[in-house]
Amino acid sequence: MADGERTMVNRTEGKRRGGGRVSEAGKETGLKISRFFTDPSIHPYDAIEGGWGRRSAVIYDEKGAEIFKQENIEVPNAWSELALNVVVSKYFKKSANPDEREKSVRQMIDRVARTIAGWGRKDGYFAAPEDAGTFEAELTHILVNQMAAFNSPVWFNVGIEDKPQCSACFINSVDDSMDAILKLAHTEGMLFKFGSGTGTNLSRIRSSKEPLSNGGEASGPVSFMKGYDAFAGVIKSGGKTRRAAKMVILDIGHPDIGEFIDCKANEEKKAWALIDSGYDGSFNGEAYNSIFFQNSNNSVRVTDEFMRAVLEDGEWRIHAVTDPNQVIDTYRARDLMDRISDAAWICGDPGLQYDSTINDWHTCPETDRIYASNPCSEYMFLDDSACNLASLNLMRFRNAEGGFDIEAYLHAVRILITAQEIIVDRASYPSPSIAQNSHDYRPLGLGYANLGALLMAQGIAYDSPAGRAWGGALAAVMTGEAYRMSAETAGHKGPFSGYPQNEKAMLRVMRKHQAAVEDVEHNYLPADLSAAAHRVWSEAVNLGELNGYRNAQATVIAPTGTIAFMMDCDTTGIEPDIALIKYKKLVGGGQFTIVNQTVPEALQKLGYSEEQTHRIVEYINENNTIEGAPDLKEEHLPVFDCAFKPAKGVRTIHYMGHVRMMAAVQPFISGAISKTVNPIALVGSG
């Protein structure tokens, strides 16, 4: 669709009001949806490249034993066996009655796309019935062609439950009372049951160094973490085999911060002792099932004040929760940072969350601060809130010439962000407070996946200025267009309820996003991508000034583990490839072998012949590395660098390559980025 064809709200038409946008004729308008991918005379399923076939979904364990099988599944021929196995085993509707089970990818996608479109019709999102039909067709096309996917709870629950839980990410509050502490356990359990994850900052709970009101000794948050961890360990996500996901956070100023920092590392050492004694040390083995804190990610919230104390080798005073004027402990700030680093080296936790920066980019500070995140840390917003996620598969937006189709990308952003917005009012939530905040602030989490594969296919090294320019620009275009669409929707449905109170702050953050576009190294970008980044942010800010925004947040970068396989992505989120040949174990059993499919395209992009490409790919298959491959020029090796150093190679992406990519992308994301930074690079050649 050409730029001029986009649906825009006329600045002279009507005026903004809380209940929606009213035209001069006095009638509320709705969204006009243009066709881009589909033809009204052809159903999206009939236009799919390669057609449809029937296959069996089979999963084997690492010993070759069959642990799952469903036969005669209708599936697009273009979908891989991996995508088929993931979708059938995880997302197909299950039933004790064989006649009620889903047997086709068509059924699954129809269940979701038709339900969301139907909600949109009933809730007045579309200008006319034909717009609703167009929306359903475009969404169906996007999903069946693996251009995007919703988060797992949508596939689990939409079209099955009357009020489905649709959000993957929740943030829950807890207060310093036994009632609140036990209520949190119940809320988390219900979230795990329906396939979602949750995070909570426990810093409001008084420390073990402070007395109870009746004179007894307080247990402190770390003690309660043991109970929360036990529930997470026994309640499977979505009632399936996925593990529950949770985040536990403690402020750097909490009196129990030392115990919190060390708790998971100490348990890890216990597991080592059990393994040395002969207990099973595998993922689901008895050693790790016997220790605490294995079902949560732990993070420490640090402020700029604390980080300055670390840099200046200063003292850090810890104050009581119940009496902020009472100093409980005094630490050398660097000692605390060293403990955090040592613990993270031992067991991966705790992580760090930068409180000051997070709140500087907060769109709703007049409501409250941001205290916590979801388990994977991409969703950061108000306590007692939820976010439904979706991710775009960047590799599906290349044109026939191998370039990136900007207009297709923009259109997909509009369709997906509209679908996510529709979901907000039709979903269920585990508590009244989460429901209220979801309706009042309407945070969304659109993101992208397969960045690593896209860069490789373009012949661009992940750890390079060009790679970072592409990562930042694609994020800028996505978030800018998402907010532009949010402002357009606000013109019809009204801005989110919390917007008037936070208007000044939110517009400040929007202008920060817009200003960051100038920091992208545009000389590494195609002209149309560079122009789009500038254009969408100008439109997003201008239309937001007129209409406000429908959503307090619009984008995150999620880890996209399972849905990345559903979309046949070679890489997840903003990660580079882990390895050119890799293996994934499934919770509940089973193992997939995943071979990078992007290498041949990258080699062709770099000018290698078909014969040379074949020889190089054969070498990779035999050696699990591209290093030493025949015909390969040394200057092209960085294009194929991965996060892990191969057993027969020396190359890997330096840890700062990961950090710099995050720095390039983060200024254009509403929330944050779920990202693995691999410290193995410290001992590699990098």
Q: Which of 378, 421, 481, 627 is catalytic?
A: 378
Tokens for 380, please give them.
């950061």
Burial of 40: CB neighbours in 10 Å, binned 0-12, 13-18, 19+: exposed
Alpha carbon distances (Å) from 144 to 47, 64, 178, 414? 10, 30, 48, 17
Tokens for 35, please give them.
């066709």
In this structure, the number of other CB atoms found within 10 A of the CB of residue 272 comes to 12
Q: Is the dihedral of CA 444, 492, 9, 362 positive or negative?
A: negative
Burial of 315: CB neighbours in 10 Å, binned 0-12, 13-18, 19+: exposed
Q: Which of 85, 297, 374, 450 is catalytic?
A: 374
Whether 345 and 337 have beta carbons less than 8 Å apart is answered as no
User: 3-state class of 600 per DSSP?
Assistant: helix
Q: Which of 166, 263, 364, 376 is catalytic?
A: 376
666, amino acid identity = Q
Q: Which residues are bridge partners to 245 per DSSP?
A: 197
User: 3-state class of 511 per DSSP?
Assistant: helix
In this structure, the number of other CB atoms found within 10 A of the CB of residue 2 comes to 7
Q: Which of 106, 132, 119, 117 is nearest to 30 (CA)?
A: 132
Tokens for 597, please give them.
């499919």
Cis peptide leading into residue 350 (ω within 30°):
yes
Alpha carbon distances (Å) from 453 to 404, 448, 598, 624? 13, 12, 6, 17
State yes or no: is 376 an active-site residue: yes
State yes or no: is 374 an active-site residue: yes
Q: Is the dihedral of CA 656, 662, 664, 667 positive or negative?
A: negative
Q: Which residues are bridge partners to 59 per DSSP?
A: 68
Q: What are phi and psi of 63, to 5 degrees?
A: -95, 0
C-alpha to C-alpha distance for 578 and 41, rounded to whole angstroms: 43
C-alpha to C-alpha distance for 383 and 372, rounded to whole angstroms: 7
**DSSP secondary structure code for residue 94 in this structure:** P
State yes or no: is 387 an active-site residue: no
C-alpha to C-alpha distance for 654 and 674, rounded to whole angstroms: 18
Q: Which of 197, 187, 199, 181 is nearest to 350 (CA)?
A: 199
Crossing angle of helices 221-234/178-193, nearest 10°? 20
The residue to which tokens 């579309």 are assigned = 126
Q: Which residues are bridge partners to 331 per DSSP?
A: 316
Q: Which of 595, 568, 579 is nearest to 646 (CA)?
A: 579
Following CA atoms 623, 625, 626, 628 in sequence, which dihedral angle do they give, to the nearest 10 degrees?
-60
> Which residues are catalytically annotated?
374, 376, 378
